[in-house]
Structure 1
């Protein structure tokens, strides 16, 4: 029972962090003045990007705590090391995150793209992590 409560608390904590990230990203794209149709498309991408961002941060913590290598034992005499599951997940997720962020950037009008990319970069640099 205690484990279930702890897991629920952890989920709620992550859910809050994801919502904060969603709001941060929505503010960026609202400031970029996308038309309503593009903003509807962007909202789904923003939600996914926010979830991935928070999950990547959690994976970074796990990787820093546990390292990039894990030991395994197959049977009685077969031991070894392998890339940790967290690292495998991180590599896969970071690639998908980059793809989603590119899709978001591609929604920007061509004439505003470079100007707005600079705004996004400046906003991201001000962000406290």
Structure 2
């Protein structure tokens, strides 16, 4: 994706894209990855692909928040109880990572075994 200006093309980076654009890009990437699925299966798992794309983009955002703010936050409960605990971003990241992994596993299990072998071979050839 590029932006033209006065004869010069500037490439857009991931940070330049809106969240919706990043999600659409990830949806397209996942559809390419799982293009070998039967058409009926692909239509059936469309919502899984959309959810996986949303989660992937959200996980990136959460990682940025965690990198900026840290893994823990200070808390104060009343006058004499205080300490540190996991930040909400970390808790959300952990839960979403598990859900994202489960969706990707579900999608991978739908790929026929012969296609999985071809994909591995193709990956080796592409290296």
Do both proteins adopt the same fold according to a TM-score greater than 0.5, normalized to the shorter chain? yes
1:25 to 9, 30, 44: 30
**Equivalent residue number for residue 65 of structure 1:** 68
Q: C-alpha deviations, 1:70-122, integer Å up to 9, x for none?
A: 01111233221001111111111101110000011011112222333565799
Which of structures 1 and 2 has the bigger CA Rg? Answer: 2
Q: Which runs of 5 or more residues in structure 2 are unaligned?
A: 1-16
Alignment of 1:37-116 (within 5 A): 37-116=40-119
Compare the two structures and name the one with the higher helix fraction.
Answer: 1
Distance 1:20 1:122, change over 3 A: farther
Q: What is the deviation of 1:42? A: 2.6
CA contact (8 A) 1:42 1:107 kept: no
What's the counterpart of residue 6 of structure 1? none
Q: Cα RMSD between the aligned structures?
A: 2.5
Question: Is the contact made by 1:28 and 1:120 (CA closer than 8 Å) also made in structure 2?
Answer: no
Counterparts of 1:67 and 1:29, CA distance in 2: 35
